[in-house]
Amino acid sequence: MKDYADSPLIRFFLVVVMIISLSGCSDEKTATATLAPKPQMLVYCGITMVNPIKEIAALMEKELDVEIIITQGGSEDLYQSLRIAAKGDLYLPGSASYRQRHQHEGLLGDYIHVGYNKAALFVAKGNPLNLTNDIHQLHDENLRVMVGDPDSGSIGRETFKILEKAGIAEKVRHNAIHLSTDSRALNYSIKENKADLILNWRATAFFKDNREFIDVIDLPDDIAVPKKLELNMLTFSQYPEKARRFMAFSASEQGQAIFRKHGFIDKDSLKDI
């Protein structure tokens, strides 16, 4: 299993080049191998969900007899990459809104519900400033606040939906020291003491490299509504049956246990949203 991630701009072009290369050139090792190389499946995965998808991919590589390549990034950046390259098999964005937004373009085929994502406030470990779950703290000029860019990733889109509903979107935009491209950059701002308060996808606080630096302040469900995660098969997939088996495993009890372990809400735990 391979995993590709980099800075947003470099990553975008790297992904396109890498995807196009899957249909043609082989590397030296493959070219000299005596056995035919395994089929390569490509999964586009939003950063927040990459840990459970990596774990599932490691299991499914053996079962499907394939190599699974995972490219991670902001959900919109990933969609534009797959649209341009027209290569790949599966797409898991940070909320179902990306399917709704792009389905008319005909690239997103069958899909399956694999759980829920939820936004929360993040602070440094121990909450040194004694912050609360009041969303209005995001426009407090005495705090270093960072939020996501709505034009880049799922957390940015979700953030501004929450802020607009609360009537404070422009206040927060004006107060924020930066609009970050994705959840990874937001978490980095807390870990490197560049921000006091961020709004991010809750599950990312449970990543191994984040949990000792970050505390979560949960928001009420009526403010931060749990968002459906839908794993989409791409209509140009070269391996549709293998992609469907990957999808089915992700929604199975074993797959759901993996998602729960990484901080996500089980697909059957909430009423349909």
Model confidence at 1: pLDDT above 80: no
Model confidence at 7: pLDDT above 50: no
Model confidence at 159: pLDDT above 50: yes
Query: Which homologous superfamily is 119-217 in?
Result: Periplasmic binding protein-like II (3.40.190.10)
Among candidates 4, 181, 6, which has minimal Cα distance to 76?
181
At residue 16 the predicted structure's pLDDT band, cuts being 50, 70 and 90, is low
262-273 average pLDDT score: 76
Give the three-class secondary structure for 115. Answer: strand
Give the up-direction half-sphere exposure of residue 75: CA atoms within 13 A in the CB hemisphere. 29
- Residue 257, judged by CB atoms within 10 A of its CB (0-12, 13-18, 19+), counts as exposed
Contact yes or no for 249/255 (Cβ under 8 A): yes
The 3-state secondary structure of 139-174, one letter per residue:
HCCCCCEEEECCCCCHHHHHHHHHHHHHCCHHHHHH
Model confidence at 237: pLDDT above 80: yes
Q: Which CATH class is domain 2-117+226-261?
A: alpha beta
**Bridge-partner residues for 113, per DSSP?**
230
Mean per-residue pLDDT over the chain, rounded: 89
Which pTM was predicted? 0.74
Q: What are the extents of the domains in the chain?
A: 2-117+226-261, 119-217
At residue 5 the predicted structure's pLDDT band, cuts being 50, 70 and 90, is low
2-117+226-261 and 119-217 in the same fold: yes
- At 75-122, the pLDDT tens digits run 999 999 999 999 999 999 998 999 999 999 999 999 999 999 899 999
